[in-house]
Amino acid sequence: MQDIILQIIGDIGVAGATYRSMEFAGSALGQLSMEERQTLCNMAIEAGGKNGVIPADDVTTAYVNARNAGNKPYEIFKADPNAKYFSKKRYDMSNLEPVVAKPHSPDNKALAKDCRGTKIDRVYIGSCTGGKTEDFAAAARILQNQKVRVPTFLVPATQKVYNDIQTLKIGGRTLASIFREAGCLEPASPSCAACLGGPADTYARMNQPFQCVSTTNRNFPGRMGHKDAGIYLASPYTAAASAITGYVTDPREVFAFDQDKRWAIEDILTDSARVEGQEMHLA
């Protein structure tokens, strides 16, 4: 989902939704998990938005009901049928390609394949945007039976995500063992870590002007430490692929994706797949 939101932000700019709400809708959205939807909505602020919203559906209610221990009643709000929007954009999901946001702005969009000559010093997979269970499952999928060429930091967003890394399996191996065998650093304790820079001893902080591919949400000067460091925002797939090659890499260069199927976390962990939705609307 990072590819989608970086595409959108690249199109409308970091001020494209200032003081407005970004609503995502369309046939493709029904195929997305809650974590994927969270990635989209999480980064609405990077376009200047007040918030990001996705119409509630069966996926939403199932997620809420599973966590509604007291079975408290709740109300679902929807946009009025005659609602007027400041602007609308339509995307055909089948035509989108892996993208990155180059330094030093989330709207500095480029195709990952066009940045192939950019050598990197490290990879960072983490944050509220890119450190969820499904993000690590995606990265582990790419890193199976591979070796990383640069230090690869793993920072889960929550304790549950950390636990999932230790227990969830792909092909009989836990995500943690896949990362370990690939040469990644051991998963850190859950935190924001280098995403917000912090003091010099902050875990994975860039204290030198390194070049980093990161699944975080901002890449302004000094965001992850050194003011001259270069941060390339990317999806977990692109981040993992870049860790393998040592340069910004389109994940299709190192992994043979099935172009006719979309893989959700339950598919990745059970080696089954489902068909991908095609359209998304942004209003």
Token pair, residue 81, equals 């049928």
By CB atoms closer than 10 A (0-12, 13-18, 19+), residue 13 is: middle
pLDDT higher than 70, residue 62: yes
Tokens of residue 27, six digits: 């046939």
Please, are residues 244 and 233 in contact by the beta-carbon 8 Å criterion?
no
User: What structural domains and CATH numbers belong to the chain?
Assistant: 2-96 (3.40.1060.10), 99-253 (3.30.499.10)
207 Cβ neighbours under 8 A, 6+ residues apart: 200, 225, 226
pLDDT tens for 73-115 read 999 999 999 999 999 999 998 899 999 999 999 999 999 999 9
Nearest to 179 by CA among 135, 235, 118: 135
The pLDDT score that the predictor gives to residue 108 is 98
Contact 153, 242 (CB under 8 A): no
pLDDT tens, position by position, 192-212: 999 999 999 999 999 999 999
Mean pLDDT of 247-257: 95
